[in-house]
Amino acid sequence: MALVAGAAGVCTTFALDATEPALMAPAAYGSILLALGLASFSPVLLRALPARLQPLPGALGGAAGELAAHNLRQRAAQASGVLMPLILFTGMATATLYMQAAESDARAASGLVKSVDDKNLETVNLVVVGVIVAFCCVMLVNSLYAATSYRGREFAQQRLCGATPGQVLRTVGAEGLVLLVTGVFLGTAAGLAGLVPYCLVRADRALPQAGPGIWLGVVAVAAVATLVTGLGTAGRMLRTPAVRAVGAGA
């Protein structure tokens, strides 16, 4: 339902005039709904994608990569709690920040000077978007921290079976990398689905002049939140002796 509503919202953009004040609304809401729709399929995607992305985690170490792919398939429901906010964060940030940049470029190209109301509206939009995006980022960090902390006994069992702490961390890193690539890809797709129609109507071009800088910044924040949180939490769990961790989780 969210995918259908999102597609309808994006298509509504083409029915509006380029100078319509509400032009950004259907494109932005459409991108958000598309991101929500894609996020709802996270468990299914996590069961199917690891096999196709096997070379990616495998690049971090054969055994660690294979174990990471296996873990994501078996723990798809739990890992989807991390992938969902990652998709939402990437999609919402990409769409709304680039739309605001495209709006500013279009006004500058037309020679119009922003009125006080226009500046106030831009500030309100940025504040609202910033709050929502920050919430998604916090939700991503919290979800990943909780999901990794819950696996303390699993990490201890792997160590008792002969895995070194480095191998455990590489496995967690490979899992995080697969989640990051998947979330960024789907989130970017959702963001572009709303951004391209908006730019075509507002500026008669497919993409804004802002370049890839905004997107790279979004990806950098997502990467730091995903990898640093996952590896940092796993490293903290590995400080507990394996026998004690297994006994505590029993």
* Euclidean distance between CA atoms 210 and 167, whole angstroms: 41
- The model's confidence at residue 204, banded by pLDDT at 50, 70 and 90, is confident
Q: What is the pLDDT of residue 76?
A: 76
* Domains held by the chain: number: 1
Residue 93 clears pLDDT 60, i.e. is over it: yes
138-147 average pLDDT score: 89
Q: Which domain holds residue 179?
A: 2-249
pLDDT-above-70 percentage for the chain: 89
Residue-wise pLDDT for 147-197, tens only, equals 888 888 888 888 888 878 888 888 888 888 888 988 999 999 999 998 888
Which of 6, 95, 91, 78 lies closest to 42, judged by CA? 78
* Euclidean distance between CA atoms 94 and 103, whole angstroms: 14
Task: Please tell me the pTM assigned to this model.
Answer: 0.86
128-142 average pLDDT score: 86
Which of 120, 83, 100 lies closest to 225, judged by CA? 83
